[in-house]
Amino acid sequence: MVAGPYKQYFMPALPLVAIIAANAIYSLFVRKPKWLFVVLLFAVVVPAFLLLIRARDNNVKQLKRIDYVLSVTDKDDYVYDGNVSFNVFRKDADFFWFSLRPRVGGLAAYKTIAQYEYNIYKSIEKNRPKLISNYQIEDMQHEAIAGYYVQSDKFKNLFIRKNDL
């Protein structure tokens, strides 16, 4: 298995990195304080502005997708969301419902310590989720999917079970 650390694993080191960076900035700009102000202005204001724009755009799209899923499903319905991007309040089609990336995801890590057969087609066939995404589904023409699901008219990567339309 290829090592694939998550970004949050590096968070404990951030205070040390911040101390080292602050000391470097101080020693570089101790003689010219006006340059320090200019550099800090660009280092704080510009990234903050870009992050706010990005967060607003991504969050709005994701919230619309979540609202859509909630509007077409009931509280007892199963949903398949392999990318943990829209299934907030519905039952999941499988025990593993996120971090499915081959070799570096949570499922791959779990398989190294326990016997677990992940087969999304069997899970779809067994639980008959009302809504599925095509994330990490290689064969949308599989017999458990083809003929039972139709592509959503609002989101191209979401599919609704036909008999539930």
- pLDDT (tens digit, 9 = 90+) per residue, 3-48? 667 888 899 999 999 999 988 878 888 877 778 788 878 889 999 9
Do 61 and 85 lie in a common domain?
A: no
pLDDT at 108: 80
Q: How many domains does the chain have?
A: 2
Do 89 and 115 lie in a common domain?
A: yes
Do 64 and 81 lie in a common domain?
A: no
The answer to whether residue 165 scores a pLDDT higher than 50 is no
Do 102 and 87 lie in a common domain?
A: yes
Do 161 and 83 lie in a common domain?
A: yes
Do 83 and 163 lie in a common domain?
A: yes
Do 99 and 126 lie in a common domain?
A: yes
Do 109 and 141 lie in a common domain?
A: yes
> Residue 59 sits in which domain range?
8-71
Split at pLDDT 50, 70, 90, the class of 130 is very high
The answer to whether position 3 is within a domain reads no
Do 60 and 138 lie in a common domain?
A: no
- pLDDT (tens digit, 9 = 90+) per residue, 43-90? 899 999 988 888 777 778 888 999 999 999 999 999 998 788 888 889
Do 25 and 77 lie in a common domain?
A: no
Do 131 and 50 lie in a common domain?
A: no
Do 86 and 157 lie in a common domain?
A: yes
Question: What gap in Å lies between CA 5 and CA 100, rounded to an integer?
Answer: 14
